[in-house]
Structure 1
Amino acid sequence: MQIPFNACDCHMHIYDDRYQSVNNPALNTANASLAEYQQQFQPLGFRRHILVLPSTYQDNNQIILDALACHRHQARGVAVLDGRVSRHQLVQLSAQGITGLRYNLVRSAPEVLQHMAANAGLLAEFGWHINLHLTPKHYAEAAPLLESLPCEVVLDHFGRVDFSGWQSSRYVAAIRKKLRSGLWWIKLSGLYLGQPASTADINAFAHCLLDEREDRLLWGSDWPHPTSRTPINERDNLAPLFDWAATPQQLAQVLVNNPQQLYFR
């Protein structure tokens, strides 16, 4: 199978030390420009991408807003806003290509859950989504709140599921239920973030998700792979998707149709 026309990478970052970042960021990442990204991914067949603000910049979204100003026709962004957001903020950011807010429960302060709950109704009104980076532990601590969010929710990096025990996991059962509801999405990305697992277990979980709701799955490269301890070959990073998608139509669903519906509508 080949990458379909208009394929979209739904999770990538850029870094530039000209933009203000937090003091002592958790991840010290070298500069990684959009031009460098395109040099690697356009030959693979990707024409669209979603810029996700990394935690390095806290809530300084200027780095992705500047990139979107130059590449709006082929990109959208996921921003970070601390605290309660206003209608005026969402109007301005929507006009600049932002379609969702990211809440990184892995690296955020405890009050982020309160902010997320307070903002969810307005995000739903604007057609925005909440992009969540969390682990099973974070989900267990806040399940009632997370399951009651009125807006669409996108889970980063397979929801950080433990692939080796997914079949008996209450967390996975909850994810599958929310996928069936149509409000939740999940990104097939960041395999290196999870606990070591067999290829068979990973493939079985991915096939389960595709059988559940192939129209709620997205793929992301996580370029430039800020949490990977070893260099990542982009073709190797993409290769598992060709094992998971059974047909060209299913591949196009994940790489073209689903991103179109969520980010480019």
Structure 2
Amino acid sequence: MNQDLVAHVSAPSSRPPPGSCDCHVHVFDGARFPFAARRSYTPGDARVVDLVAFEQRIGIDRVVLVQPSVYGFDNAALLDALGRLGERARGVAVIDLETVAPAVLQAMHAQGVRGIRLNLEVSGQRNHGFALKQLKRAEGLVGPLGWAVQVYADVDVIAELAVDIAALKVPVVLDHFAGIKSHKKDEQKTAFASVVELVKRGNAYVKLSAPYRASHSAPDFDDVAEFAMALIQARPDRLVWASDWPHTGSSASRTGNLDQVEPFRKTDAGRALNQLASWASTPVLLQRILVDNPARLYGFDPVAA
């Protein structure tokens, strides 16, 4: 086990409720599952054993593994991890929307995949027509399986797509506070309001995750609180929490040197859970965000009373 991935993580002040879910984590194992040649960075190892140790540290029972960009369309590492973790885990894959066969998706479903990811942020894709075409194609592919479509994009892109997302017949999960940037809150005020209205419509979920991607105010990132509170007030049944473990770096700081291993951020997820508890100020709200919403969204069994 890599102690560096858990040594800096504190236990939260109060243990999360049974069945709590971390809805966005990655695994990296370059020796067993080589990274794609066309990628923007090279991560270190963050294996299943490290993930289990991390979640035990913060008291989380369930996880959703998300395919990272360094593996492209090759979901082998993700599926291997799902097999090792069993019923405590679900997956979000990345697929070639134009070529994937329905039988491949059916096989992924049997292995625990419950969604696909459209990573518009990493690709720098901001074209509305292109994004809408991807969303519609994704809807057609995953709708019959009951999966969600996960979107990582800037809040301005989400706002432009809000009407289109609201019309989709599948759940749409918006990564990392729906792409808001706290230092741009004045210029993004209208876009964030559009996201709040979209969430109120019911088919869009937001991940309260990776505040360091939304804020520059380390270590507590307190300036994301107003966004979290607005979303909780709007639709607490459409929010989930995630750590974003093992906390990959920022695309803005990457040099393009793939021979250099990019270090993971030293982020304290225990502190992040304490922050969530301060936003979701009642046990009922915390139960909804950590347990009930992810169970419904990703198809986990109900937690026994």
TM-score of the superposition, structure 1-length normalised? 0.91
What's the counterpart of residue 8 of structure 1? 21
What's the counterpart of residue 130 of structure 1? 149
Amino acid of the residue matched to residue 153 of structure 1?
V
What's the counterpart of residue 104 of structure 1? 119
Check the 8 A contact 1:121/1:151 in 2, yes or no.
no
Task: Mark the CA change 1:246 to 1:167 in structure 2 (over 3 Å): closer, same or farther.
Answer: farther
Pairing 1:160-239 to 2, within 5 Å after superposition: 160-163=179-182, 165=185, 169-196=189-216, 201-227=223-249, 230-239=265-274
Q: Structure 1: where are the runs of 5+ without partners? A: none
| Pair 1:26-2:46 in alignment | no
Check the 8 A contact 1:193/1:227 in 2, yes or no.
no
Q: Structure 2: where are the runs of 5+ without partners? A: 1-13, 251-263, 301-305
Task: Mark the CA change 1:32 to 1:171 in structure 2 (over 3 Å): closer, same or farther.
Answer: same
Task: Mark the CA change 1:20 to 1:199 in structure 2 (over 3 Å): closer, same or farther.
Answer: closer
What's the counterpart of residue 118 of structure 1? 137
What's the counterpart of residue 53 of structure 1? 67
Task: Mark the CA change 1:154 to 1:16 in structure 2 (over 3 Å): closer, same or farther.
Answer: same
Which region of structure 1 is more displaced relative to structure 2, 161-170 or 12-21? 161-170
Which region of structure 1 is more displaced relative to structure 2, 119-128 or 129-138? 119-128
What's the counterpart of residue 70 of structure 1? 84
Which region of structure 1 is more displaced relative to structure 2, 252-261 or 101-110? 101-110
TM-score of the superposition, structure 2-length normalised? 0.79
Cα distance in 2 for residues equivalent to 1:24 and 1:200: 36
Check the 8 A contact 2:180/2:188 in 1, yes or no.
no
Aligned residue for 1:22, secondary structure, equals: coil
Check the 8 A contact 2:92/2:116 in 1, yes or no.
yes
Cα distance in 1 for residues equivalent to 2:214 and 2:162: 20
Instruction: Give the CA RMSD over aligned residues.
Output: 2.3
Aligned residue for 1:4, secondary structure, equals: coil
Task: Mark the CA change 1:86 to 1:116 in structure 2 (over 3 Å): closer, same or farther.
Answer: farther
Q: How many residues matched?
A: 265
Check the 8 A contact 1:59/1:80 in 2, yes or no.
yes
Cα distance in 2 for residues equivalent to 1:263 and 1:166: 34
Amino acid of the residue matched to residue 170 of structure 1?
T
What's the counterpart of residue 285 of structure 2? 250
List, as ranges, runs of 4+ consecutive aligned residues in structure 1 with deviation greater than 6 Å.
Answer: none
Check the 8 A contact 1:12/1:223 in 2, yes or no.
yes
Task: Decide which of 72, 75, 80 is 2:94's aligned counterpart.
Answer: 80
Task: Mark the CA change 1:144 to 1:5 in structure 2 (over 3 Å): closer, same or farther.
Answer: closer
Post-superposition shift, 1:175? Answer: 1.4
